[in-house]
Copies of this chain bind each other. A is one copy, B any other.
Amino acid sequence: MIRFESDYEEGAHPRILDLLTKTNLEQSPGYGEDDYSEKARELIRRACGAPEADVQFLVGGTQTNFVVIEAALRPWQGVLCADNGHINVHETGAVEATGHKVLALPAHEGKITAEQIREAYAAHYADESHEHMVQPGMVYLSSPTEFGTLYSKAELESISLTCRELSLPLFVDGARMGYGLMSGANDLTLADYAALCDAFSIGGTKVGALFGEAVVLSSPALRKDFRYLMKQRGAMLAKGRLLGLQFLALFQDDLYLRIAKQADELAMRLRRAFLEKGWPLLHNSFTNQQFPIVPDEALRKLEENYSFSFWQKTDETHSAVRFCTSWATSEEAVMKLIEDIRRA
């Protein structure tokens, strides 16, 4: 059984395990105040062209999202996001558990637009009884989105401009950042994210690390006392160097980008195989997640040797499913799957 179910089914890139092993018995202070974490921060700042930014390492994605959002919002504010955004659907109400409403906007291909943000903001203040409604307090995007799609540079610039005009901090959840950056359809750089967002995350969990998300905080307001909130919410790892070491390995020699690129390329091969087979795609993704619409009969055959995620029924006899590649996916596994797709 080969698993294409998600992009977090293996451990870590071997260089990470090597580095952890090599440094294992060294002693260092805790909570991310060690030299490795500082070096990793410095590498990330450089990769982002953001010498002033604060970089903090958190353990997981849900944690990263709710900590950043809580840091940005006042109690009566909510966060604007796509209705299918991870925070609105798949985090067991983590944002609400910090007291804030998720203000969902109808998404197209997992994305929202500057216009939608502007309209939601305007509609709020146009209402005479706006004090009786949750005040829009920030914007959350994910890129790649839940559907593997990407914001273009023009789209992100437009959203960023709108957010600054409206004083709404902008946060991009980059749990799959690497797969986005290396996609053929992408025209954004880490420096763009740093310049356009108040905060964004660079996901390690799904891109080569055992675990870990780097948060880049461009906004001085968000940087202040951020670590108190991390500690309070259980997001400050005791042996913080474990996070520093992992991001150090990932940001040396462009490892992060190289392994992401490979995953994207394998995903593109799958994409072509689906289309050649005549299986349309539910979402037009050029990153590591692919969503073919497959005859149920063919699915039953594929299930014998592969695992993947059921997404939704599309009609009586077809279903959309999700295949993920990752940094750990082998070319061999993909070739075998493609062969079986052709035969299915």
Contacts and interface: CB of A to CB of B under 8 A. Distances in A.
Given A97-B99, A99-B97, A100-B96, A89 B233 contact: no
A3 to B, nearest CB: 4
A238 B96 contact: no
Given A24-B11, A211-B242, A238-B205, A231 B91 contact: yes
Contacts of A133: 89-90, 92
A6 B5 CA distance: 40
Interface string A68-97: 001100111010000000000111111011
A337 to B, nearest CB: 14
A317 interface: no
A17 B11 contact: no
A26 B78 CA distance: 37
Interface stretch (A59-67, A190-198, A273-281, A288-296): A59-67
Interface string A206-219: 10001100000000
B328 A232 contact: no
Interface of A: 2-3, 5-6, 8-12, 14, 17, 20-21, 23-31, 59-64, 66-67, 70-71, 74-76, 78, 89-94, 96-102, 129, 131-135, 205-206, 210-211, 225, 227-229, 231-239, 242, 328
